[in-house]
Chains A and B, each alone.
Chain A
Amino acid sequence: MSTAVTTGRRLAPQAGEVIDRRAPLSFRWDGKTYTGFVGDTIVSALVASGVDVFSRSFKYKRPRGVLSATFHDPGCTVQVGDEPNVRAAHRRLAAGMEVSPENVWPSLKFDVGAANQLLGRFLSSGFYYKTFIKPQRLWPAYQQILGRFAAGGVTAADAEHGYFDKRYIHVDVCVAGGGPAGMAAAVAAAESGASVLLVDEEYELGGHLRYGGDADLAALAELRAEVAVHESIEVMTNAAVTGRYDMNWIAVVQRQPGISVQGHAIHERLCKVRAGSLVVAAGLIERPYVFAGNDLPGVMLSTAVRRLVNLHAVRPGDNAVVFTANADGDACAQDLRRIGVGVTVVDARTDANIRRAEGGKRVKTVELADGRRVDCDLLVTAVGWTAATPLLNMAGDRPQYDATAARFFPTDRLAANVVVAGALAGDGSTSELVAHGAAAGATAAARAGHGSEVPAPALARVPHPELYRSTTHGIVDFSEDVSSKDMFSAKKEGYDSIELVKRYTTVTMGPSQGKLESANAVAIMAEAHGVSDFNEIGTTVWRPPYVPITLGALGGRGFENTRFSPMQPWHEQHNAKPLVAGDWIRPEHYGDPAAEVANVRRSVGIIDVTPLGKLDLRGPDVPKLLNLLYVNKWSRLPIGAVRYGVMCAEDGVVMDDGVTGRLGENHYIMTTTSSGAATVWEWTENWLQTEHPDWQIHVTPVTTGYASMNVAGPKSRELLGRVVSGVDLANDAFPYMHVRTATVADIAGCFMWRIGFTGELSYEIHVPAAYGLHVWEALFDAGFDLGVVPFGVEAQRIMRLEKGHFIVAQDTDGLTLGFGADLGWCIKLDKDDFAGKPELVWQSRRDDYQRLVGMQPVDPTIVPAEASQIVEGTKKIVGRVTSSRMSPTLGRSICLGFVEPRLATPGTIVTCQLPDRRRVPLKVIEGLAHFDPDGARMRI
């Protein structure tokens, strides 16, 4: 292999390199132009160009360089264009990238010693709590200064809109981790006949084999080829399993999945996976060593060095000290020698150790435990591994520490549908890991119903020195700038459990979420407590998500319905103001709701009431159902008649109201409120399926099967006479509260009923939905000379308030029982049974509940805000305003609301407190209706 250095720190071609030297890319970093290759990460391209420092640390503002050269590298978070918090040691370089440092106040190049002197002694654990909590009046000043310290990038107000998506995946086996064991597991599961999703965090499969030697690369090529021949394996790279939930509901976040929706590239996709089995082959994460200066740029993990050298052909330094406790550290030293770097090995297995590193913007000298000082610009540590157990935690396991192997291992508490593969279970050669993975894959497939289980060959637990902290204090959590000294102080201050120390010092709570630092945190806690068994300290429990997910991916693409009536195109042409009402978009008004009211009261108007819930009820037992659901009586409803009914829940609270009409011997149509349509249907089915399966009734929801329109006003009969055939509209032939089937504008199969929500003569017409727009337009054509105009929801609300008709959930709430809503006239306690009957019986014997009353402000120009309180004195609330409007018909303000029973007598003056604290008198009126209390106008 060549040892020549080419330009800058870029090496001659390496056997396993992933860069494409024929494809150079130009990009900008901190205001200057740099060049890298396709396949470079942002960081590898910058290191190749001699850049050492990528950020300033969270609290102490110390310069930070490469530590792990992975997604989780705490010092390599940057801003790319208007995208904050990009993991630069992971994100692949793209042409023209505008990359800038984050969190670099005062600046990336500011003198290090100065920053540390300035900040270091102030920022111990709990400093914010202790120092800034008092006096409170100074908080705004503190906030301004502290704001400068805040981590993270910037979001631009004019940032480009991001596009995100979701995907649902059903597989037999999901494999988390695409190293040798994961790949082998996927292949074995596929060979058993299972469908497989193989997920890896990196851009390519292979895990640690990718940056290994020739034998590793050969094994990798073989495994990749085996994965590729199985069509039942879906490989998803640059993706991470972020959570495992009950019954293997698995969240996978897929970054830059290379798909687009409507011409927009998808930034991230959240995949929701249901898997029969989950194979956890997440492997090991190399952990840093705690010593003074361990966060200096130039102090790197052995795996970081091997990634830079072997994947990106970058020379990470010229003179290295390699502190190694294992074979991977030895391999790293070999790699460095191969590319011509001077190497001093400090072998932990011979009890040699390092004490501290010194330097400014880069490490310069390492002091060894024996007092020797070695000059270098690269200090490599290989002190052991953190088992990547988060997914096992989420599956119920609590891994146990093994002092001999110096890491945590899974126990047998795992759910049966989760199988561990590879290095998480023990140490082994590549072929041993592959064999272990294959057995795990076959077992996982068997547990998902394919083939039979294969016992996993045991993997050894190779002895490893327990190396966590040297004799000096250093950084434990690189994201949060928490040192071992901070953790010792926390112990002294009385924080004795790992969970408390975590919250107090914020150790393991930063963006890397403990992946690099949790084992060190536990070890240092154990040291502070003087205990040798880490299991006495315990670990903090890893929870989802394993890696950060953007809010965009979580929000994704919405799947909510939006519903429109068939008349929506007409509404849009006539400038209707849209109103969002649950799933529905409805016209709130067409410009002037007061004029719409006046027009209905004077001549005729039409409102689209399609969202009204409609249930078609058929069968001989329908009256039994109506008697059970409604508080009033239904046994003798004649064919052709319509009745108003109120439903209460089993707790006696008003639930819904509407009219039900009888169209034939065994045929009824029930209407519900627009918002209650789904609830009432479920309620109806609940009674029929669980209490009375013997009743002969069939319920069909027909809400969207009919377009519904209410033709209201004194001229409505005249208008309908021009378009309706087959029905005598005369008042005595088709009286108030009756229903007829009719042909309207040549459309047969319509039904219409005379009801009076607005208080006017009115007909509600229900038309087969496909003909809704046709009938609607025909009505306007026919009524042009009568002055017909459309009216919206707001005009209807005003008119029903003038009439004193309450709206469920507007004028009632979750505590309003039937009698409180002035429904005594229709609650029939002599019925054997109905929903909520016991509560209403008991309520009828009490007198302590607030009453719904009509109220009018004494000053007719004041319209109290809805939800204004009715008060007595300064401390007592005795009621509230539930509906309030200016009445165009009466020329005064009108209200509905609740008051205590002693204030419900007509003529009582109550006090209403407005939101601006003004108090105004309201007068309680007789009944609820402000206008036409006898209902004469509805019956003409």
Chain B
Amino acid sequence: MIQVPCPWCGPRNSMEFRAVGESKSRPDVSTTTPEQWRHYLYTKSNLADWVTETWYHRAGCRRYFAVERHTVTNDIRESRLPAAQLRRQSDSGS
């Protein structure tokens, strides 16, 4: 079992988390096509490389966050706030 560094709680066993999957941005629902939408729903790039994933600390702080994990070595180089929260912080310029 790997350890996941929660940005709020520190390193914890992965069983405390739900691995949500690769982080993806949701298509605009008013213009999306079936191909785009289903790509968003079902297709995983499944890279043997560094990937950005979303994890949820369900048995801890109940926060969603982004993790940079290497899928071959399970090394984790960064965990941070979800993209939308980072955008919001930078938008507010504070």
Contact = CB atoms under 8 A, between A and B. Distances in A.
B58 interface: yes
Given A274-B13, A682-B56, A246 B74 contact: yes
B37 A839 contact: yes
A3 interface: no
A692 B88 CA distance: 9
B94 interface: no
A685 interface: yes
Contacts of A249: 1-3, 13
A833 B28 CA distance: 9
B9 interface: no
Residue of A246, A682, A693, A833 contacting most chain B CB atoms (<10 Å): A693
A694 B32 CA distance: 24
Contacts of A690: 54, 64, 82-85
B84 A247 contact: no
B63 A689 contact: yes
Nearest to A831: B29
Contacts of A832: 29-30
Contacts of B62: 685
A650 B41 contact: yes
Contacts of B18: 682
Nearest to A688: B64
A691 B56 contact: no
A690 to B, nearest CB: 4
13 contacts: A247-B1, A247-B3, A249-B3, A650-B26, A651-B41, A685-B56, A685-B64, A686-B20, A689-B82, A690-B83, A690-B85, A692-B84, A837-B29
B34 interface: yes
Contacts of A839: 37
Interface of A: 245-247, 249, 274, 650-651, 678, 682, 685-686, 689-694, 832-833, 837-839, 842
Interface string B76-94: 0000001111001000000
A689 B64 contact: yes
Contacts of A693: 82, 84-85, 88
B84 A246 contact: no
Contact of B1 (A245, A837, A838): A245
Given A689-B85, A690-B82, A838 B56 contact: no
Nearest to A833: B29
Given A249-B1, A274-B13, A838 B37 contact: yes
A690 B85 CA distance: 7
Contacts of A685: 56, 62, 64
Nearest to A686: B64
Interface of B: 1-3, 13, 18, 20, 26-27, 29-30, 32, 34, 37, 40-41, 54, 56, 58, 62-64, 74, 82-85, 88
Query: Interface majority SS on A: helix, strand, loop or mixed?
Result: helix
Contacts of A246: 1-2, 74
A245 B3 CA distance: 11
A691 B26 contact: yes
A686 B56 contact: yes
Which 7 residue pairs across A and B have the least CB separation, nearest first? A690-B82, A689-B64, A693-B85, A249-B1, A246-B2, A838-B37, A246-B74
Residue of A651, A833, A838 contacting most chain B CB atoms (<10 Å): A838
Given A685-B56, A694-B88, A838-B34, 6 more contacts: A247-B74, A274-B3, A678-B58, A689-B63, A689-B84, A832-B30
A691 B84 contact: yes
B91 to A, nearest CB: 9
A933 B31 CA distance: 39
Given A685-B62, A689-B64, A842 B29 contact: no
A689 B74 CA distance: 25
Contacts of A833: 29-30
Nearest to A694: B88
Contacts of B32: 838
Contacts of B40: 650
Contacts of B37: 838-839
Contacts of A682: 18, 56, 58
A276 to B, nearest CB: 11
Nearest to B37: A838
Contacts of B26: 650, 691
Nearest to A693: B85
A412 to B, nearest CB: 16
A249 B1 CA distance: 6
A842 B30 CA distance: 12
B34 A842 contact: yes
A247 B63 contact: no
Contacts of A245: 1
Contacts of A650: 26, 40-41
Contacts of B56: 682, 685-686
A693 B84 CA distance: 7
B90 to A, nearest CB: 12
Nearest to A691: B84
A541 to B, nearest CB: 17
A692 B82 CA distance: 11
Contacts of A694: 88
Contacts of B74: 246-247
B65 to A, nearest CB: 8
A354 to B, nearest CB: 48
A679 to B, nearest CB: 10
Nearest to A690: B82
Nearest to A649: B41
A807 B34 CA distance: 29
Nearest to B66: A690
Nearest to B85: A693
Nearest to B74: A246
Residue of B32, B64, B88 contacting most chain A CB atoms (<10 Å): B64
Nearest to A842: B34
Nearest to A841: B29
A837 B74 CA distance: 36
Nearest to B4: A247
A691 B27 CA distance: 12
A694 B3 CA distance: 30
Contacts of A686: 20, 56, 64
Contacts of A651: 41
B85 A247 contact: no
A249 B83 CA distance: 30
A488 B72 CA distance: 38
Contacts of B63: 689
A682 B58 CA distance: 8
Nearest to A678: B58
